Amino acid sequence: MSLLEHVDASTNLAKNNEVQLLIFKVDAAVSSPYYAINVFKTREVVESKHHHLTLIPAAHPLLEGTIVLRGLQIPILNLPKWLNAELGSEQKKASNLLICDFNGIIIGIRIMFAHRVIKKNWSEMHAPDSYRLGEDGLIINDTRLDDGSLCLVLDYEKLLADVVPQAMVNIQESPDNIQNLIIPDKLRNGTVLIAEDSKTAQRHLRQIFANANLSYQIFNNGKELIDYISSHPNPSSIPAIITDIEMPEMSGFTVVKKLKANPETKNIPIIVNSSMTGDNNKRE
């Protein structure tokens, strides 16, 4: 499958409220949990032993160093350590590097091995409240594999914010960027609705809206947002909607499709806020 065909397939999955997940483990223990990442965010898996790791002085403890892959210098993040699963020297030699693309930022994360790729409907992805206790949770949702095994989806935005903060929006710049911005009355006097499942992204959005002195309401997934709008007394008064693409219960693509199909909401401006990348995804 060509790159363009891969992108088209991934985008069509999201539009149908489906997702392809790469399933992996961070250590070799049979009892260790399975983890998942959207295939759309991955580039390839390479064997660690074939790539020289260059150390970076005074780097973050989770930043192991960099490798050079096809002319690109790629930082390698120690995902097992982030998850309190320290690998021994022999395990590190046997491990793999998952090369990912987060909105144009190329990052490698250390994993033990890739298990397989599965397809799931977002309605099969769940976000138990226990994952949302506090601001520092590492897990945002889960699903079940065919054999009943639990598979956890991590908050990769938090990993990036912790280790490679330049990969995230610089919220400190936002006050200066909006000083001379003319804000329409409908936006200034209304409440912007936001669907976002990542606690890290939620925190950044809160800071941006606080800097702009604008009212907002955050929902943990697209279904909660749509349910709220369905009971709203005057949906056309909503000044704008911001939605992530990857969310449990209902994807951002499905949110947009439902809003555009409803005469009361079809004219509401919608902003897609996502770490998913690719020209085709942006076009959709």
Closest CA to 128 of 271, 7, 248, 259: 248
Distance of alpha carbon 213 from alpha carbon 176, whole angstroms: 13
pLDDT of residue 16: 74
Main-chain phi, psi angles of 201, to 5 degrees: -65, -40
Distance of alpha carbon 169 from alpha carbon 159, whole angstroms: 14
**What residues does each domain of the chain span?**
3-167, 174-283
Distance of alpha carbon 176 from alpha carbon 115, whole angstroms: 46
Low-confidence ranges of the chain (pLDDT < 70): 1-15, 128-136, 166-180, 275-284
Average pLDDT of the chain to the nearest whole number: 85
Write the CATH number of the domain with boundaries 3-167.
2.40.50.180
pLDDT of residue 169: 60
114, β-bridge pairs: 24
Main-chain phi, psi angles of 80, to 5 degrees: -55, -40
User: How far is residue 228 from each of residues 123, 194, 234, 235, measured CA to CA in Å?
Assistant: 18, 11, 11, 10
pLDDT of residue 251: 86
* Domain 174-283 listed as CATH 3.40.640.10: no
pLDDT of residue 135: 59
**Is residue 184 helix, strand or coil?**
coil
How big is the CA angle at 278 (ends 275 and 280), to the nearest 5 degrees? 125
pLDDT of residue 14: 58
Query: What is the pairing mode between strands 191-195 and 241-243?
Result: parallel
Distance of alpha carbon 92 from alpha carbon 79, whole angstroms: 12
pLDDT of residue 7: 44
CA dihedral 53, 56, 57, 58 (to 10 degrees): -120
pLDDT of residue 274: 74
pLDDT of residue 1: 44
Pair of tokens at residue 257: 């499709």
pLDDT of residue 44: 94
pLDDT of residue 174: 57
pLDDT of residue 172: 61
pLDDT of residue 232: 95
